[in-house]
Amino acid sequence: MPRTTATRIPEKMSTDWSQVQELMSDVLVGHVGLVEDDGHPVVFPTAVVLDGERLLLHGSTGSRWMRRLASGVPVSVAVTSIDAVVVARTAFESSLSYRSAVFFGRCRRVAGEELEAALAVVTNRIVPGRVAEVRASNSRELAATMLLELPVESWSLRISSGPPTDEPEDIAGGAWAGNLPVVRTYAEPVPSPDLRPGIGVPASVTARLADRVRV
């Protein structure tokens, strides 16, 4: 349920969950905000995957901030795609096209029997099909995995798109206006220096090369 009512430009607000799902299929990383004991805010990035109506946040067990999140403090997670530079006829009307979802709730650490399945969701989201190509995680690895679940209590989605909206007197002038779309792709894979000879690029990685991604 959207937490934030439309205090900003209304056409930028969306309450369409399918647009949130589309955004989350384009973006691998979210920015997580929490409040420190001293009342100051902290923001940091981490891998974020939408799994049904929960987010899965994957980070380092060594991260003090991830451990604080695991204690259940209130959290805000923003996931953003920058889609274009909007080049207007004036500096004032120039902007960025973007989609940005903000989620609110409290995290808990995923552990025990749920962990392996949740980790597979994250791994297959980042490189689809990769789970089937690698060995299962062992108990040492699972114990060292910091995977948080955020049941989404509330959210908001803002979308800014379309061409510049210049004033008539500027449209009548001589300046150009348009959009510069941002495209994100993968470059050719770089094999690890310690890769043994004869091991080819797997299907999961080859498939990613065909994708246009937003991260």
Site for a second copy in 142-201 (CB under 8 A): 144-145, 163-164, 166, 170-196, 199-201
Question: Which string of x and - marks every residue 82-121 that binds a second copy (by CB under 8 A)?
Answer: x-xx-xxxxxx-x-x-x-x-x-x--------------xx-
**Nearer residue to a second copy within complex by CB, 52 or 193:** 193
How many residues form the binding site for a second copy (CB under 8 A)?
97
How many CB atoms sit inside 10 A of residue 215's CB?
A: 11
Nearest to 119 by CA among 207, 56, 46: 56
What is the distance of C-alpha 8 from the center of its chain? 22
Q: Which of 50, 80, 107, 155 binds a second copy (CB under 8 A)?
A: 80
Q: CB-hemisphere CA count at 13 Å for 199?
A: 11
Rounded Cα–Cα distance for residues 27 and 81 (Å):
7
Q: Which of 23, 56, 75, 152 binds a second copy (CB under 8 A)?
A: 75
Which residues sit opposite 142 in a β-bridge? none
Q: Does 133 bind a second copy (CB under 8 A)?
A: yes
Q: How far apart are CB 151 and a second copy at their closest, in Å?
A: 16
**Nearer residue to a second copy within complex by CB, 7 or 18:** 7
Identity of the residue numbered 121: V
